Structure 1
Amino acid sequence: MRVEIWTDIACPWCYVGKARFDKALDAFPHRDRVEVVHRSFELDPHRAKGDTGAVLPMLAKKYGMSEAQARAAEENLGANAAAEGLEYRTEGRDHGNTFDMHRLLHLAGEHGRQDELIGLLYRANFAEERSVFDDDERLVELAVAAGLDAGAARAVLADPTAYADAVRADEREAAELGASGVPFFVLDRAYGVSGAQPTEVFTRALEQAWDARPRLTPVQAADGATADDAGACGPDGCAVPGH
């Protein structure tokens, strides 16, 4: 079964939602047969690289609230994060363009290190003091910590076209699927879960998607022969004709 998750590193509910989904997945009996793929979604795709700013004034301006209200909203998010065992800095964070992070996540996907990298990016953005925006060496450090080659990460960051098409393709696909925000979880292209739902919702979604998977119906030969009668090879060897 495949679970695709559209997220943005700048999205605090994606940070919380991943922790809740991971708890459900860790307890899922068929965990080893679930493939998780992280897809790209930029909350502000037109934002220029280098355009960074403090989070609280941005929230106040974007949602037409006072900075005190923005601070209260951040404290609420911090409480939700803490409930999932996550660290969350409610003040002093910045925000900016996330396109390079998404490009690195596609590189990580090719090496089976996506989940490791996105977890490190979330923690760096929401829990640590050093910014992840406009600091290529910081991104390289995180890529290396996730198990990627430093040279490969630097090469991607130095080439703005590297994985750019893959990021845009993910974003187009999200729109086609009807995702207007993140996190957005798609299970086997049959079930969708929007938002950082409680862990039990993800548990039900995993169970429902697993139970709904198509089952193969064996087709018998015209003479009524079964699969056991046909030539085939298996872990113990191949059937010998006439035996």
Structure 2
Amino acid sequence: MRVEIWSDIACPWCYVGKARFEKALAAFPHRDDVEVVHRSFELDPGRAKGDVQPVLTMLTRKYGMSEAQAQAGEDNLGAQAAAEGLDYRARDRDHGSTFDMHRLLHFAKTRGSQDELLQILYRANFAEERSVYTEGDERLVELAGEAGLDTEAARKVLADPDAYADEVRADEREAAELGATGVPFFVLDRKYGVSGAQPAEVFTQALTQAWGERSPLKPVGQDGAEVCGPDGCAVPQP
């Protein structure tokens, strides 16, 4: 069974939702048969690479709320994250473009390290004092190295604005085609969609239902046709 997760590194509910989903998956009896694929989704796709501002400033301008309301929301998110065992800095965080991070995640996917890098990027964005937006490409190269990626290869990806850009845009188009207007967005076997950072119990229910409704293959044709297997290939008989 395949679970596809559309998310953005700048999305706090994606950070929390990933932890809740993984809690459900860890307890799922068929977890070893579940493939998890992370997909790209930018909450602020038009933002320029150098356009960085405090999170509170972004929230007050984007949603028309007061700074006190924005801070209260951040404090609530911090409490939600803590309940899942996650560190969360509710003050003095930055907000900026995540496009290069998504490109790097697609590169990491080709090296089998996508999930590791995603978790490292979440931690860096939400829990660490250093900004993932203001220190340039070298900060992302450093984080890629923490995920076990070749840092020189990661540096080359970031230096080429076209590298993995099509993959990011393809994910975003697919999200729109599936009707996703926000993240996190979970799709199970292209049959069920779960929107938002749902409680672990909801993910458990979705996994169980999707697994139970997997359609077995229906044989077509006659029994006994020639096949190749672990012991070799059937020899045609005259």
User: What's the Cα RMSD here?
Assistant: 1.5
Alignment of 1:94-105 (within 5 A): 94-105=94-105
The Cα of 1:236 is off from its aligned counterpart by: 5.1
Larger CA Rg, structure 1 vs 2: 1
TM-score normalized by structure 2? 0.94
Q: Which secondary structure does the structure 2 equivalent of 1:186 belong to?
A: strand
The Cα of 1:31 is off from its aligned counterpart by: 1.0
Q: Which letter does structure 1 place at the counterpart of 2:159? A: A
Alignment of 1:158-169 (within 5 A): 158-169=159-170
Q: Which letter does structure 1 place at the counterpart of 2:3? A: V
Q: Which residue of 1 aligns with 2:140?
A: 139
CA displacement 1:44-98 (0-9 Å, x = unmatched) = 1000011001111221222222111111100100000000000000001001000
Which whole-Å CA distance do the structure 2 matches of 1:218 and 1:48 have between them?
53
Which whole-Å CA distance do the structure 2 matches of 1:172 and 1:120 have between them?
25
Unaligned runs of 5+ in 2: none
Alignment of 1:47-66 (within 5 A): 47-66=47-66
Q: Which letter does structure 2 place at the counterpart of 1:141? A: E
Alignment of 1:12-27 (within 5 A): 12-27=12-27
Q: Which residue of 1 aligns with 2:109?
A: 109
Q: Which letter does structure 1 place at the counterpart of 2:186? A: F
The Cα of 1:235 is off from its aligned counterpart by: 3.8
Q: Which secondary structure does the structure 1 equivalent of 2:187 belong to?
A: strand
TM-score normalized by structure 1? 0.92
Unaligned runs of 5+ in 1: none
Q: Which residue of 2 aligns with 1:156?
A: 157
Q: Which letter does structure 2 place at the counterpart of 1:206? A: L
Which whole-Å CA distance do the structure 2 matches of 1:161 and 1:239 have between them?
49
Q: Which residue of 2 aligns with 1:215?
A: 216
The Cα of 1:217 is off from its aligned counterpart by: 2.7
CA displacement 1:126-159 (0-9 Å, x = unmatched) = 0000011142111011111111111110001100
Q: Which residue of 2 aligns with 1:128?
A: 128
* Alignment: residue pair count: 236
Identity across matched positions, percent: 77
